[in-house]
Amino acid sequence: MCGIFAAYQVPDIKAFKPKALEYSKRIRHRGPDWSGNVVANNTILCHERLAIVGVDSGAQPIQSEDGRYILTVNGEIYNHIQLRSQLKDYKFQTMSDCEVIIPLVEKYGVDAPKYLDGMFAWVLYDKQTDRIVAARDPIGVTTMYMGRSSKNPKTLFFASELKCLVDECDEITAFPPGKVFDSNTGKTTRFFKPDWWDEDRVPHGDADYMAIRHTLEASVRKRLMAEVPFGVLLSGGLDSSLVASIAARETAKAIHETANTEDLTGVDDEGHLRLSTGYSKLHSYAIGLPGAPDLKAAKKVADFIGTIHHEHHFTLQEGFDALKDVIYHLETYDVTTIRASVPMYLLSRKIKAQGVKMVLSGEGSDEIFGGYLYFASAPNAEEFHKECVKRVKNLNLADCLRANKSTMAWGLEARVPFLDRSFLNLCMNIDPKYKMIDEKAGKIEKYILRKAFDTTDEPGAKPYLPKEILWRQKEQFSDGVGYSWIDGLKDLAEKQVSDEQMKHPKPEWGADIPHTKEAYFYRVMFDELFPSKAAASTVMRWIPKAEWGCAEDPSGRYAKIHEASVADNN
């Protein structure tokens, strides 16, 4: 991934260019490898590059041979090999997987994103017609914001992160996932229209275990497309452990090409993974406070699947010291997101220091399968499914935002196999009755995902995971790094925020009032970093589902069925 910034129809582009370069520099952490910019008419496109595919020839912004089209992209296009073979009339200028976007827009216009399999946020400028087309991937794995200024209503701004826009824009929105903007119409329209997007439609598909297994395997295989060292984030929970297990298998059997050849990296037409990283054995990474539950589980998984494992520790004080930096990079004051992001942010720095530029991560599974423990209180299958759809739709403002920004703070790219379009279409169309948590029947959370990778009844089959990991209870990342992490954050906030402050929230917060001292503490830090209403308007806070008995505190330990339930221990 990378960082992008674009300004369209700027009144005085020559005078604005130094500002544009300064704004782009604010996200250089996302792309430390190279910086580029192109000015055409009254528009400027900037790019901060993190080179993972097309390392030698993929610098951006990318221009078509005739110079008409200029493209800046943050993302990865996994089906670029297939698309290149279909777009033979276009003369490619680079080996970048992202260049296929230019001929797709040339051929299909605003329908171009429909043909892309990947995670992306891009802005394409047609200087012949003075037209901007911008799009974001279906679920919002890749971040992007869009801004406007009342001083110059015709000017549009796009950026990977909020911090690029706050000085220019008094109206900022998170660019909606699965949509494409066209300056010719001024409209943002939806290109991602799966049947499961309708929350009121209850699917009736079977839980086909082998289909689930094979589709997730294919998803992981795609995301191993890289020309640089990569690894996996391994918390020891079900989701990251499955991704790591599949990745270890796929890496071992991949066809390795000589690095820096003219061979394209990715999955070829025969479904084979082609790599040029020089890696034949997978590296895995875990973090936690000393003695954390996740560290023990992660080590067990790593030993079982045979990765080169790296275990890192942090102290409570190191976590506290990182809070303001984390909020600066996350651009949110949501309690759940911040709690989980600090360890991920610290781990990402350790990983980048070891020369790794890309990791796979397990986000999305809990939303797809109803894996959070509060789903056990769903009144029926219909409501269970409706909540799943809502959670998937909000991923761009929650777990995807966390995974993207926590890692990209250090120029590390996170890829999320569970949010593959094919995997989503399969699993979101399964009848929710198969996903329901039923303790009496022995069906714990994500039962069908666990069964899909249970090889117990397959003679001679190599297990994907140890049994105790495959059937380990859901542990939220912010809990699994050590229970004292969240307890420590609460204690810290208690010391920083007075009862008097809680009684008198700031008038500018309006109805968005923090209900805990921890939430108040984070909101104050956010306001210091981003003191504009436009910035705060982009934030979504996690709201408990009280009617399901969901606790105000988002920690999984507040769910009654958690094995280390706070309620049981008080």
Handedness of CA 120, 4, 169, 521 (dihedral sign): positive
What is the per-residue pLDDT for 416? 98
Domain that holds residue 114: 3-193
Output DSSP code: residue 438. B
Residues 144 and 269 in one domain: no
Domain count along the chain: 2
Contact between 245 and 40 under an 8 Å Cβ cutoff? The reply is no
Whether 228 maps to a domain, the answer reads yes
Mean pLDDT of 289-308: 95
Contact between 411 and 72 under an 8 Å Cβ cutoff? The reply is no
Contact between 329 and 512 under an 8 Å Cβ cutoff? The reply is no
Q: Give the separation between CA 104 and CA 92, rounded to whole angstroms.
A: 12
User: Was 24 annotated as part of a binding site?
Assistant: no
User: Was 362 annotated as part of a binding site?
Assistant: yes
CA angle 119, 124, 127 (to 5 degrees): 175
Output DSSP code: residue 472. P
User: Was 66 annotated as part of a binding site?
Assistant: no
What is the per-residue pLDDT for 560? 57
Give how far Cα 31 sits from Cα of 24, 291, 349, 405, 411, Å.
Answer: 10, 35, 14, 12, 6
Give the type of residue at 170. Answer: D
pLDDT 10s digits, 84-94: 999 999 999 98
Catalytic residue among 2, 46, 98, 388, which?
2
Q: Give the separation between CA 292 and CA 313, rounded to whole angstroms.
A: 9
Cα-based torsion angle of the residue sequence 324, 330, 334, 335 in order, rounded to the nearest 10 degrees: -50
User: Was 233 annotated as part of a binding site?
Assistant: yes
Last residue of a domain, one of 167, 193, 219: 193
Cα-based torsion angle of the residue sequence 76, 79, 81, 82 in order, rounded to the nearest 10 degrees: -160
Residues 398 and 464 in one domain: yes
User: Was 255 annotated as part of a binding site?
Assistant: no
pTM above 0.85, yes or no: yes
What is the per-residue pLDDT for 180? 98
Residues 256 and 177 in one domain: no
Show the tokens assigned to 70.
């200029």
Give me the residues paired with residue 45 across strands: 6, 38
Whether 200 maps to a domain, the answer reads no
What is the per-residue pLDDT for 476? 60
Residues 20 and 166 in one domain: yes
Residues 8 and 124 in one domain: yes
Whether 364 maps to a domain, the answer reads yes
Place 562 in a pLDDT band, splitting at 50, 70 and 90: low
What is the per-residue pLDDT for 342? 97
Annotated active-site residue 46? The verdict is: no
Last residue of a domain, one of 193, 228, 244: 193
* Share of residues in the chain with pLDDT > 70 (%): 92
Whether 415 maps to a domain, the answer reads yes
- Please state at what angle helix 399-408 crosses helix 316-330, rounded to 10 degrees: 100
Mean pLDDT, the chain, whole residue set: 92
Give the type of residue at 305. Answer: I
Whether 199 maps to a domain, the answer reads no
Place 307 in a pLDDT band, splitting at 50, 70 and 90: very high
Place 552 in a pLDDT band, splitting at 50, 70 and 90: confident
pLDDT 10s digits, 213-244: 999 999 999 999 988 889 999 999 999 999 99
At residue 274, does pLDDT exceed 80? no
Mean pLDDT of 286-308: 95
Q: Give the separation between CA 215 and CA 211, rounded to whole angstroms.
A: 6
133: Cβ contacts below 8 Å, ≥ 6 apart = 105, 109, 110, 112, 123, 124, 126, 180, 181, 182, 183
Do the bridges between strand 34-40 and strand 43-49 make them parallel or antiparallel, or are there none, so unpaired? antiparallel
At residue 365, does pLDDT exceed 90? yes
pLDDT 10s digits, 350-364: 999 999 999 999 999
Q: Give the separation between CA 70 and CA 4, rounded to whole angstroms.
A: 13
